Amino acid sequence: MSVFARLVEHLADLLAPLFHASAAAAAIVLFTALVRLLVHPLSRAAARGRRARAALQPRITALREKHAGNPQRLQQAVLELHAEEKVSPLSGCLPSLLQLPAFFLLYHLFSSSTIDGGGNALLGHRLLAAPLGGRWADALADGGVFGPAGAVYLGLFVVVAAVAAVNFRRARRTLAEQPAPAAGDQVPGLAAVTRATPFLSFFTLVTVAVVPLAAALYIVTSTAWSAAEQALLSR
């Protein structure tokens, strides 16, 4: 964590002339953007995978008719079709999974009072009036919902809610365009996950409220990036 802490400090020093006391917060946003740029090729591959799965729907419909009385054979045939066309039903999860280490690193860095036995200087940095190591509960205790720190979180909640609403509508529209799943049409358990996916966007609000502000900034930036990226790649 000491290496990462120095990286954040160096980025904050570079951004200080523009962002002053909020330079460390700006450094986290910049770091998040760099991480998203690194996984962008995988996001493009995931978008191609979604289009490929959509193109397979007529053939899957034919398999449903052929194996209507044998759900197990239908499931096997669908899996074989995906393997034959080199299309993975779970390929879209990879970009998100590869971002988890960066998120957890930020979480632990701004949750620790010490780094290598010394004090954690990053905890003294702020986004406007809100400490980067603080949480929403701390902001509520220090001025309430509309206090200086609480107002910072209200701004983040507005951004996250707006992005979640966009993602929710896009996910619902995508599901509505797909044929209704039949028994054995998907990997076991995947259908339930698919139905719940549109609502997961709003879970980000809970996450932003309970993690350190630095980690919340990562989530907000990454979520907004994902929404813009998906809109661009779906054209």
Question: To 10 degrees, what angle do helices 71-84 and 57-66 make?
Answer: 150
| Exposure b/e, 199-235, CB count within 10 A at least 16 = b | eebeebeeebbebbbbbbbbbbbbbbbbbebbeeeee
Cβ–Cβ under 8 Å, residues 69 and 181: no
Cβ–Cβ under 8 Å, residues 128 and 193: no
> Interior CA angle at 34 toward 132 and 53, to 5°?
115
User: How far, in Å, CA of 184 to CA of 73, rounded?
Assistant: 8
When pLDDT is averaged across residues 92-101 and rounded to a whole number, the result is 76
Classify residue 110 by burial, with Cβ atoms within 10 Å: 0-12, 13-18, 19+.
buried
pTM equals 0.76
In this structure, what are the phi and psi dihedrals at residue 145, rounded to the nearest 5 degrees? -60, -40
Whether the pLDDT of residue 183 is over 50: the answer is: no
Could you read off the pLDDT of 33-71 as tens digits, one per residue? Answer: 999 998 888 777 777 767 766 777 777 778 777 777 777
pLDDT confidence bin for 115, thresholds 50/70/90? confident
